Structure 1
Amino acid sequence: MAQTFLRTMFGPHSRALQEQDGSRTAYARMEAQAGDADILTARELDFIAARDSFYIASISEHGWPYMQHRGGPAGFLRRISGNRIGFADYQGNRQFLSTGNLAADDRVCLFLMDYPARRRLKLIGHARTTSDAEDVAALMPADYAAIGERAFVIDIVGFDWNCPQHITPRFGAADLAQITQPLQDEIARLRARIATLEAVTPQG
């Protein structure tokens, strides 16, 4: 459930608009449910572990939001313990926008997408970075062609799932390979059958 997410994200103006729209009563019931944090369950953790990219938003010292894309092999964003997740920051980023923003304001929002399945998950939490070699090594994906420079550690306080409306399905190479594999298998069987028939059919 997204009680903490809703209580945290709904401001006075959002609530006023919900009153006008007629949706405030339902959201108020959800916000009122007990709990200090939205606890990540197997559903969220499995979704997080399957992602090979996500977007992370932080707040600059000038008050502007900043959104950054992060990527890696599936599972590079992973659970550390409890509601704590993290990922390795690879060498090469020299603007230090997200890293610098966290020095002034540790609040972040993560946006995770599964385009083929038309699913999305939003996470909010408090983040910090560390250059401790053990922390970085623990979050570096195995056999990945990148050098870990620091680690982002995020304590999730809330999350929310969104409906699939208006999400256009998009498929990567692995998705397409899985979809077309039955056709490839059938083509291979037919080729083998043709080769067998040609071998036993008299020529001329």
Structure 2
Amino acid sequence: MSPYHRGELAAQERAGVLDEAARVSVLIGAELPRVARAFLAEQPMLVIGATDGAGDVWATMLTGEPGFITATGPSTVEIAAAPAAGDPLRPILSGPARVGMIVIEPGTRRRVRLNGTARPTADGLRIDLTQAYANCPKYIQKRSPRRVATTPGEPRVGPELSAEEVGFASVADTFFVATADLDGNADASHRGGNPGFLRALSPTRLRWPDYDGNSMFNTFGNLEVNPRAGLLLPDWTTGTLLHVTGTAVVDWDPRHAATVPGAQRLVDFTVTRVVRTTGATPLHWSTPELSRFNPPVPAAPGAALS
């Protein structure tokens, strides 16, 4: 039985990669290999996405000392952390929720995707996995973390990006995107490129190129059946987290993609709500070593978030 739902299969067919997607589907399983369990135990962060009661999709980052992510069984993960007050995922994860997660180690460019159902525990969350698989290391910028004592600020909530946030998004080299199918099964994915690969066209419009990937089309497959999506833009230098929710549309026209170096498709995102929390995470990261796979992009002005 294929691990892909009808939206993923439709996206794979549109991209002409059905055979390749079928070949790599053997990587998807419900149990964590031994090497993946060891990898999780070493990590200080993960990104998690889910859908709220209104159907909006959000993504956030959870952090802790290495060991805060523990594989307690072949298909069970416990996380000794939960979203802080003001985080858009806090009310969602206070009860059972279908979640998508991605755990990245920027220093080695390794990553693991995890999908399943989360339930709150006394220490954080327990996730019963339905899918677990590794991803390719392309487009991950190499960084090293350091921990800085911090107190989260009061979240700024609004219907669109501020001028400062537009400038920040315009020079981002990394963001995360969460999507979900019609049944609420969520997925969280990484997007990376040279600074400026994400374009802020206005306070309510973002666009990014889709580069060559693993042929699974998990994100695009969800968007085939459900256009709602959530973005997480971390400020690696300050620990500020910028959460954005809205809708995404994939532009499959190759003529449009041809105008952007390295792009195979373009994605247009409409912002409907923004939450920004300063000092949301104590992890601050070093200046990045950009991936050699990143296609070139024109230089653009911008700034870090306070």
TM-score, structure 2 normalization:
0.43
Matched, 1:14 2:8: yes
4+ residue runs over 6 A deviation: none
Kept after mapping to 1: 8 A contact 2:96/2:119: no
Counterpart secondary structure, 2:81:
strand
Distance 1:104 1:152 in 2: 10
Decide which of 122, 135, 154 is 1:162's aligned counterpart: 135
- Which structure shows the higher helix fraction? 1
Counterpart secondary structure, 1:89:
coil
Q: How does 1:139-150 map to 2 (within 5 A)?
A: none
Decide which of 74, 78, 81 is 2:73's aligned counterpart: 81
Counterpart secondary structure, 2:89:
helix
Percent identity, please. 22
Kept after mapping to 1: 8 A contact 2:95/2:120: no
Distance 1:105 1:130 in 2: 11
Distance 1:86 1:24 in 2: 34
- Which structure shows the higher strand fraction? 2
Question: How many pairs does the alignment contain?
Answer: 148
AA partner of residue 61 (structure 1): G
Decide which of 90, 115, 127 is 1:124's aligned counterpart: 115
Kept after mapping to 1: 8 A contact 2:50/2:57: yes
Structure ID, larger Rg: 1
Distance 1:120 1:27 in 2: 19
Matched, 1:49 2:41: yes
TM-score, structure 1 normalization:
0.62
How far does residue 99 in structure 1 lie from its aligned partner after superposition? 4.1
Distance 1:24 1:119 in 2: 25
Distance 1:114 1:94 in 2: 26
Change (3 A) 1:15 1:98: same
Decide which of 18, 21, 24 is 1:24's aligned counterpart: 18
AA partner of residue 113 (structure 1): I
Deviations 1:48-78 (A, max 9, x none): 0010111111110111111111111111111
Give the superposed CA RMSD.
Answer: 3.0
Distance 1:46 1:26 in 2: 29
* Unpaired runs of at least 5, structure 2: 148-284, 287-306
* Correspondence for 1:181: none
* Correspondence for 2:145: 172
